[in-house]
Amino acid sequence: MPIPDYQTLMLPFLRFLSDGREKTLRQTIEAMADEFHLTLEERRELLPSGRQPILDNRVGWARTYLKKAVLLESPRRGVFQITARGKEVLQQNPDRIDTSFLRRFSEFEEFRRPNKAEEAKVGKPDTFEERTPEEVIEEAYQQARQDLAAELLATVKGQSPAFFERVVVDLLVAMGYGGTRRDAGQAIGKSGDGGIDGIIKEDRLGLDVVYVQAKRWEGVVGSPEVHKFAGALAGKHAQKGVFITTSHFSATAHQFVSQIGSKIILIDGDALAQLMIDYGVGVTPIARYEIKRLDLDYFSEE
């Protein structure tokens, strides 16, 4: 039979977890293949990019959406299990679980909420027919990126403080800071000097340095913490600093850094996830698409 789409997979996926035991993604993929009686060829059929099996991709997206609706959770890295809410949903005996069904949960609605400011700026057609193929592809790309960023940030928050420091090192090196990774790794997490967590080279030659504060945070980071970091920079006669957190900065924190002489860049959790995607940290490409247009100059005989 045809490979089921990711929404069709949601209900049998959740039923597979109904025993309450922890399952891996690979176990679930195999279970879904058996559930839908897929042939060996269908199990191995690849996306057009040739980088990943179609079934693996669709099961992965079903997992992401169910997790965002809090129907399943990841108690530890690499595994997941059904939640109390997921069990309640199964007790309702639904005929189907899809994105329309998941919209009843506020967590999923928040996850899927579009960028209203961006829509107001560029405008968005109401129907699929009003959009060009390029607009459809762009919207799908932005949605996939948004989904990935949310999952990436949640995964980072679930790691240890030491692993978070490694993420910061890998990102700064990927962005061109820190010299070698060894240099950066020795700098971050070794300072312990007031509000400073590390010192990293601004360039490979080390002509200037950037002071770093890197904190996993649950609540909003307010101006007192940023004040402390700025004070530590002043004590070092430093002019450049980067404050990175998995949370968000308050409006007063942003206002403060805009008014001081030192250059302090605030990177919150959302910006951190976007930078990790841009610089390939903690993510791997599965497909690339190139859109081409007719080259009229080529066909000109003049």
CATH 3.90.1310 fits 1-110, yes or no: no
What's the chain's average pLDDT?
84
Burial grade of 131 (CB within 10 A; 0-12, 13-18, 19 or more): middle
pLDDT band at residue 122, thresholds of 50, 70 and 90? very low
CATH fold of 161-278 reads Trna Endonuclease; Chain: A, domain 1 (3.40.1350)
Q: Give the mean pLDDT of 65-92.
A: 93
Higher pLDDT, residue 113 or 61: 61
Task: Return the pLDDT at 202.
Answer: 76
Q: What is the pLDDT of residue 128?
A: 41
Question: Which string of DSSP letters, residue by residue, matches 1-69?
Answer: -PPPPHHHHHHHHHHHTTT---EEHHHHHHHHHHHTT--HHHHHPBPTTSSSBHHHHHHHHHHHHHHHT
Task: Write the CA distances from 268 to 91, 176, 205, 271, integer angstroms.
Answer: 39, 20, 28, 5
CATH 3.40.1350.10 in the chain, residue ranges: 161-278
What pTM does this model have?
0.66
Mean pLDDT over 130-144 rounds to 75
Quick: pLDDT tens for 241-279: 899 999 999 999 999 998 887 789 999 999 999 999 999
All CATH 1.10.10 domain ranges of the chain, comma separated, are 1-110
Determine the Cα–Cα distance for residues 69 and 60; give it in Å rounded to an integer.
15
Is 143's pLDDT higher than 80?
Answer: yes
Higher confidence at residue 196 or residue 87?
A: 87
Cα end-to-end distance, the chain, whole Å: 55
pLDDT at 182 over 70: no
- How high is the pLDDT of residue 123? 47
